[in-house]
Amino acid sequence: MITLASDFPSPYPAAMRGVICARSDARIEDVAHDFPRQDVRAAAFWLREVLPYFPPATHCVVVDPGVGTDRSALVVEAGDHAIVAPDNGVAIPVARELVSGDGDSEAGAGSGGGADDDFDVWEIDYDDAATASNTFHGRDVFAPAAADAHDEGGPAALDRCHRTDEWVDLTFPEPDMVAEGARGEVLVVDGFGNVITNVPGDPIEGCEGIRVDDELIPVRDAYAARDPGDRLVTVGSHGNVELAVNQGRGDEAFDLSAGDDVLLEW
Amino acid sequence: MITLASDFPSPYPAAMRGVICARSDARIEDVAHDFPRQDVRAAAFWLREVLPYFPPATHCVVVDPGVGTDRSALVVEAGDHAIVAPDNGVAIPVARELVSGDGDSEAGAGSGGGADDDFDVWEIDYDDAATASNTFHGRDVFAPAAADAHDEGGPAALDRCHRTDEWVDLTFPEPDMVAEGARGEVLVVDGFGNVITNVPGDPIEGCEGIRVDDELIPVRDAYAARDPGDRLVTVGSHGNVELAVNQGRGDEAFDLSAGDDVLLEW
Amino acid sequence: MITLASDFPSPYPAAMRGVICARSDARIEDVAHDFPRQDVRAAAFWLREVLPYFPPATHCVVVDPGVGTDRSALVVEAGDHAIVAPDNGVAIPVARELVSGDGDSEAGAGSGGGADDDFDVWEIDYDDAATASNTFHGRDVFAPAAADAHDEGGPAALDRCHRTDEWVDLTFPEPDMVAEGARGEVLVVDGFGNVITNVPGDPIEGCEGIRVDDELIPVRDAYAARDPGDRLVTVGSHGNVELAVNQGRGDEAFDLSAGDDVLLEW
């Protein structure tokens, strides 16, 4: 199975799908093609949340603000999964999650994780300027590599891949845990408007309410435990503290966007 | 085959897709993931329109404003189809349609249809709080149940399912047919902006025009029978009276939204 | 394999998918369902760009402002591909591309290409008013024809298809090449906001910059060769001159939309 994830508007993902189908009989499943445009950290977050639910697969990921520069193209082997992606860190948190169940690990900060990480990184040689456009490596580099890595059993079987210890790391910011609270950050806002922070949910289990930027907000297990339009704090399906509105948008009600700081006190 | 329908923004449907692929080799086809948010009636309408075109399948439907409350999770067996869905009525009109070709039937109004309906309703036991998140039953309850029901040949084979006669019904409002007209209601507005009413199309067949809220509007067989930008009344592909604009948005031109009353006179 | 392309909002494509699945075991892959509404030229452009990447397949294309009028329904056989589409020209540029690699050919201008073109055109007889709705031929005419043409090995095997030499042609406007420049036209704007012109990219290869409507703009190989928010000219993955903004929208920065004239001087 090959999965596809990108920030490409239609019909660009279909060109990738065509390239894969022309090279491989692999089943194709979409992860998302509407990741926030060129937002590597948001894509890395969602991949870490979603890909581990799939059976072993080759995941083709293209969120690639550096397309056409000299950034490398990678195949990251993590457990029974392979992630084909640009070398901008987008594949790293999910790779850590797949091998250790700990995508938040700070191992390997900086460029290159090496011995601390249990996944293998391969670089794809695509310097054939005759075949790769400078603006659409999803179609011309990543999709063919994903199809071939899938069909041949991994990057080791591909002449155009070689092992590397040099790659761009990406870790999510850690919250600053303080006495009875945390200074955290908004990692992403989902399509419902739910505000997903980097603060782990454990400390607020059992709380009736917590202060969010100095305002007391009820903590609830489920959106529907509040009236429609009312705000709540919950532990989202990702395990982090989430700020939400039942049947409404938390980002608007809390006036928070990805990257904003948020102070939680319990 | 398993179909997926939800009101989930990307990438949440992919988590469901991963869960299903990890448990089953079933082919997966998407119905929609942009049903109007938490609008159970609109989803029920569209499912009734679309699912009967599929061959026998297990349909996993998650439009679920009550997620995390004590609402039940169901598998509705209707003919050769099974619909896995929350117990909020979303699966009932299509179940009636599948067994009788009459999704508008008023049988079984109120809670529980029982003997009047020819479909069987099973409740999914998911009270294992250790495995189900309170905010994402699509991933944690419905997708696994759909995969298992598909692979095992139906809910009867699943230990965690038991028959029930208690379930939430949903029927669409009936129009008030009056002499030479009908007081109806807008059921849904589609993505083109076409206004789909609950008034059956038969009475206007052959009319040159009808009055819509006191304005005379031409009745036409096809959108293109009017100039671009001009309003028309037609019988939509669902068989009901539809208010439209050729190459434009009927909802804006008629100033009508889902739930609005509309008076049609012919 | 059957591919699906349309300008239909969800869940209408799912009805087509259901119809196909009920008649055929063919794998289904989506091309796009968000082509600009009823914009036949834009769809024809994108199909020409994307479908050639697929292996031989039956492509079901429904961008159909004339639905319900007397426009014909076609199956265009081009090489090992078949394109099932309304007779409005949407399938013609990609058919030329598939047989000759030259989708811009001016052969066959006007109605009917005949001997100049190496593809075959078949008309689908669907005059059974009892089974075809007037507003949703995607579901009632094109999807069944695509499923049957796929399963039977092409339109020749279908009783309801007959060869025709009468069909609507569509060619893209040619740029007016002048000394050291071109008067061109914007063909389409993609979902990133990139402005795709009809001017071939060859003449600007090697230029440092060109004048776009009298303003000098740098020519670059890649979006990321400019700072975020800065404008550039590039040769897009389609081979034409493209006006873009790194991590921004070219259409807004250049104030250009599909159909606008643009003067390029190098």
Structure confidence by residue, pLDDT tens digits, B169-180 = 999 999 999 989
How far off is chain A from B217, nearest CA to CA, in Å?
36
- CB of B200 within 8 A of CB of B102? no
- Residue B218 and residue C163: Cα distance in Å, rounded? 37
| pLDDT of B130 | 57
How far off is chain B from A205, nearest CA to CA, in Å?
13
| pLDDT of A111 | 47
The percentage of chain C sitting over the pLDDT mark of 70, rounded to a whole number, equals 92
pLDDT at B233 over 80: yes
The percentage of chain B sitting over the pLDDT mark of 70, rounded to a whole number, equals 92
- Residue B21 and residue A58: Cα distance in Å, rounded? 13
Assign A102 a pLDDT band (cuts: 50, 70, 90). low
Q: Please state the separation of Cα A161 from the chain's center in Å.
A: 23
pLDDT at C128 over 80: no
ipTM reported for the complex surpasses 0.90: yes
What is each CA distance from B262 to A197, B167, B241, B265, C243, in whole angstroms?
45, 31, 11, 10, 47
| pLDDT of B255 | 98
> The tokens of B13 are what?
């449907």
Please name the member of B10, B28, B133 whose beta carbon is closest to the beta carbon of A191: B10
- Number of Cβ atoms within 10 Å of the Cβ of B236: 21
* Across B40-49, C19-28, C112-121, least confident range: C112-121
Assign A101 a pLDDT band (cuts: 50, 70, 90). low
Q: pLDDT tens digits for C74-119?
A: 999 999 999 999 999 999 999 999 998 654 444 433 445 445 679 9
Average pLDDT for chain A = 92
The percentage of chain A sitting over the pLDDT mark of 70, rounded to a whole number, equals 92
Give ∠ CA C120-C125-C129 in degrees, rounded to 5. Answer: 155
**CB proximity list for B51: less than 8 A, separation 6 or greater:** B3, B31, B57, B59, B81, B83, B94, B97, B98, C18
Mutate which: B135, B136, B141, vs A, most A CBs within 10 A: B135
- Strands C28-32 and C161-163 come out as unpaired
Please name the amino acid found at residue C72: S
Contact B11 A32 (CB under 8 A): yes
| pLDDT of B250 | 97
Contact B22 A225 (CB under 8 A): no
| pLDDT of A2 | 98
- Strands A81-86 and A58-62 come out as parallel
How far off is chain C from A27, nearest CA to CA, in Å?
9
Please name the member of B9, B22, B133 whose beta carbon is closest to the beta carbon of A53: B22
SS3 content of chain C, % helix, strand, coil (to 5): 25, 30, 45
The percentage of chain B sitting over the pLDDT mark of 90, rounded to a whole number, equals 83
- Residue B144 and residue C261: Cα distance in Å, rounded? 54
- CB of B62 within 8 A of CB of B16? yes
Please name the amino acid found at residue A76: V
- Number of Cβ atoms within 10 Å of the Cβ of C166: 11
| pLDDT of B116 | 64
| pLDDT of C52 | 97
What is the pTM assigned to this prediction?
Answer: 0.93
- Number of Cβ atoms within 10 Å of the Cβ of C22: 16
| pLDDT of C135 | 82
Contact B18 A225 (CB under 8 A): no
C135 contacts on B by Cβ (under 8 Å): 222-223, 234, 236-237, 242
Query: What is residue A19's three-state secondary structure?
Result: helix
Contact B134 A222 (CB under 8 A): yes
Query: For residue B224, what is the nearest residue in chain C, using CA coordinates?
Result: C66
pLDDT at A263 over 70: yes
Contact A68 C1 (CB under 8 A): no
Please enumerate residues of A whose Cβ is less than 8 A from a Cβ of B: 1, 3, 5, 29-35, 46, 49-55, 57, 190-192, 221-225, 234, 236-237, 242, 247
Assign A135 a pLDDT band (cuts: 50, 70, 90). confident
Please name the member of A14, A15, A69 whose beta carbon is closest to the beta carbon of C224: A69
Q: pLDDT tens digits for B53-107?
A: 999 999 999 999 988 888 999 999 999 999 999 999 999 999 999 998 654 444 4
A1 contacts on B by Cβ (under 8 Å): 21
A55 contacts on B by Cβ (under 8 Å): 18, 21-22
| pLDDT of A116 | 63
A21 contacts on C by Cβ (under 8 Å): 1, 29, 54-55, 57
pLDDT at A108 over 80: no
| pLDDT of C133 | 75
- CB of C94 within 8 A of CB of C52? yes
Listed ranges A42-51, A130-139, C133-142; the one with the highest mean pLDDT: A42-51
